[in-house]
Amino acid sequence: MTITYHVGDGLYVNLTNRCSNHCDFCERDKMDGVGDASSLWLPREPSAAEIWDSVSAHDPAAQSELVFCGFGEPTERLDILLETAAHVRRVFPQVPIRLNTNGMGNLIAGTDVTPRLAGLIDVVSISLNYARASDYEAHCLPDYPDAFAGMLDFTRRAVGQVPRVVMSVVRGTLPEEDIDVCRALAESLGASLRVRAYH
């Protein structure tokens, strides 16, 4: 069971395979692993103790950052995520912590969870993916109604809680002219935009 893996010089944490989106361009539909992980499919969700054992075995102090990502939406297991982040913060306070998310955390929890990120998460990276709700819903196939608006609201609230908030789009999955629209949208929420390459 692969709980932690490396992409470049970052250590990534694979908490769950559950996801509230079912994107038609999702990398996990095309490959089983990322980075140095041959497979990120979990036979079961790891416990907090198993996650910490896996994280600490890689010497977090030697990593450029710790990233909650993997083959699922990390905020599906928010309590475990924050417990792990707090543990890392106590033992390895110099290690930056990033959360990669689809921005559905508040919809999943049914409440605003962004205040719980404060002091634990340094960077939140949110998959914007599209400039309009209609395109988002057609291609990301979210479990929640009004998911696009919920994701934008999560972004706006996260900006007030963590030092850096980034939204991302994947070049090749949306019209090129929409990238500038996405950049303006991200900036209107107080975030920046990252344009990722399509693999």
* CB burial of residue 35 (10 Å; 0-12, 13-18, 19+): middle
Range of the domain at 30: 4-196
Can you point out the beta strands (E) in the chain? 4-7, 10-14, 66-69, 97-101, 123-127, 164-170, 192-196
Question: CATH number for the domain including 35?
Answer: 3.20.20.70
Chain-wide mean pLDDT for the chain? 95
**CA distance to 99, 146, 183, 192, per residue, from 88 (Å):** 14, 34, 32, 26
3-class secondary structure, 125? strand
pLDDT digits (tens, 9 = 90+) for 153-193: 999 999 999 999 999 998 888 888 999 999 999 999 999 99
Distance CA 70, CA 74 (A): 8
For the entire predicted model, the pTM comes to 0.94
Residue (of 126, 130, 131, 134) closest to 107 by Cα position: 126
- Sequence letter at residue 61: A
Note the pLDDT of residue 139: 94
Nearest to 44, CA basis, from 71, 17, 70, 84: 17
Domain tally, the chain: 1
- pLDDT tens digits, one per residue of 74-126: 999 999 999 999 999 999 999 999 999 999 999 999 999 999 999 999 999 99
